[in-house]
Structure 1
């Protein structure tokens, strides 16, 4: 299976800014059954793109735009190939808990066992853990299937009810949220069991027959758990799915704080507005038109033009 991906992001500023520094994690990973065959990142205004690999082996791109600008558009294009992963069993032997403990003792997975910024205990989380009967029982794999399925039935998918920096208590209190919230909640439930869990940022290919709850024009998030004899296995509590050849992995970390698609700072007194559009299609469509990914930019008002002229005059004095 091959996919073409187009991910477009636009920052609009309420007044001209003099510089912006940005870091992105948009290049799909090449590991396991997934390979990124092609990747290209462009910006408007144009910038020189630099690259490095972070502590979790994610590909990071970063750039600086020093000139004055009122908006920044980032366009990422990729082609990804998948090899069909093997079918998983529905359960492991009860001895798998002991094998898991041995695996954890042998590997450096402390980051994925300890509480993190967005995935940490709280009284509301403890209440949910009791409701879902989250404790060591049966075997690790079947328990993870059960937790993901019960979360899917317990929480409603409701866009715009939380934000990227919302604590999990907001989704726990209202029993609704988005993929990021559900991934953080599942991670916070599972880590205390001694199962290493990490947050995955990426994309999901949507087909009408799958009836996915998550939005097709946005990035996606899910959970990976380390299991004996199986390695890292992905669970998608938003859609009650195993992460297989429709889930395109871009970055992994302790939680969202480690893997935001974009983050940065700008110099200037201005508020910023973020707009994002995503398309994932089979590679029969090699060139995805991006004209409808983001809404059109309205022309500046007279007041905005006058304010910009005043700021330019002040900078020249």
Structure 2
């Protein structure tokens, strides 16, 4: 499946911004199941300085500086992506067991194992607490396949938690999400990453896009697609495997990856520093994911 993605972020400021310095994670990366064919970022006003680089996590980061006064900032990322492989169905029960995976992570000293173990550590927004361990543990039976354990956890989060865009912000603690059982895709991804780390399985936060399809007989609206978040866990047999707790599914061809990180703070779509601008700037985000062809 081939897609074109257009992601526009617009900031409108009540007062003049004299200068700003920004980092954007809006360029899709290559993964085992995805290849970025082309990508570009357009910024208005025109930056005085801009450059692309590969960050610590292997993501394609775009840095820019605007050094003239402005009251509106528009960042548009346009990309073409080839998705070549869907992830396995949630119901498949095969591969190494949970106990075998734990033994591998504790004893293997290969490059891949040591690299994966970094994602067992706490990160700024995710700490492996006793509450997360208690929530996750019923799904992780030692002699059960690891994939089946993670699939059940994915389904439980989908069933136990309510999608509520009014409940949380980017700063809502994970403990509150767990207590109230409400949140959005970012919260559910953080929750599943925290649960996996708490039971000894390395897990990444995945930032990207998901194609939304209209109801039968309805036209797709411009800007109706969305940024999205899901997880990737490390399996010694298969490498990094992606699951989406918000939709109770393995990552499919509609899931387009922009960045991997420890949590949301590593892969924020746009972050930076501004001088001026007043209080309460307005933010508008529009995402269009268009199918170019089907293989």
State the TM-score, normalizing by the size of structure 1.
0.81
Cα distance, 1:49 vs structure 2 = 2.6
Which whole-Å CA distance do the structure 2 matches of 1:96 and 1:127 have between them? 16
2:124 matched to which residue of 1? 117
1:203-242 residue CA offsets vs partner (Å, 9 max, x unmatched): 01122479xxxx9532000000111221111010000010
> 2:240 pairs with 232, 257, 264, which one?
232
| Contact 1:122-1:169 at 8 Å conserved across structures | no
> Which structure 1 segments of 5+ residues have no match?
285-317
1:71 matched to which residue of 2? 72
1:278 aligns with 2:287: yes
1:45 matched to which residue of 2? 45
2:153 matched to which residue of 1? 147
1:243-268 residue CA offsets vs partner (Å, 9 max, x unmatched): 12111010001010110010001012
| Contact 1:136-1:193 at 8 Å conserved across structures | no
| Contact 1:101-1:194 at 8 Å conserved across structures | no
Q: 1:238 is paired with a residue of what secondary structure? A: coil
Which whole-Å CA distance do the structure 2 matches of 1:189 and 1:250 have between them? 23
**How many residue pairs end up in the alignment?**
279
1:30 matched to which residue of 2? 30
Q: 1:109 is paired with a residue of what secondary structure? A: helix
Cα distance, 1:31 vs structure 2 = 2.5
Which whole-Å CA distance do the structure 1 matches of 2:133 and 2:258 have between them? 31
Q: 1:128 is paired with a residue of what secondary structure? A: helix
Which whole-Å CA distance do the structure 2 matches of 1:99 and 1:160 have between them? 38
2:225 matched to which residue of 1? 217
Which whole-Å CA distance do the structure 2 matches of 1:46 and 1:177 have between them? 37
Which whole-Å CA distance do the structure 2 matches of 1:189 and 1:96 have between them? 14
Cα distance, 1:78 vs structure 2 = 0.6
1:59-87 residue CA offsets vs partner (Å, 9 max, x unmatched): 00010001011110100111101113474
1:248 aligns with 2:267: no
Which whole-Å CA distance do the structure 2 matches of 1:117 and 1:22 have between them? 20
1:297 matched to which residue of 2? none
> 2:174 pairs with 158, 168, 171, which one?
168
1:262 aligns with 2:270: yes
Which whole-Å CA distance do the structure 2 matches of 1:78 and 1:15 have between them? 32
Q: 2:197 is paired with a residue of what secondary structure? A: helix
1:2 matched to which residue of 2? 2
Which whole-Å CA distance do the structure 2 matches of 1:267 and 1:239 have between them? 39
1:307 matched to which residue of 2? none
| Range 104-113 or range 252-261, more displaced | 104-113
After the TM superposition, list the runs of 4 or more consecutive aligned residues in structure 1 that deviate by more than 6 angstroms.
Answer: none
Q: Which has the higher strand share?
A: 2
| Contact 1:162-1:177 at 8 Å conserved across structures | yes
| Contact 1:25-1:59 at 8 Å conserved across structures | yes
State the TM-score, normalizing by the size of structure 2.
0.87
- In structure 2, relative to structure 1, the CA distance for the partners of 1:170 and 1:157 (3 Å cut) is same
Cα distance, 1:167 vs structure 2 = 1.2
Which whole-Å CA distance do the structure 2 matches of 1:135 and 1:162 have between them? 32
Asked which structure has the greater CA Rg, the reply is 1
> Which structure 2 segments of 5+ residues have no match?
217-222
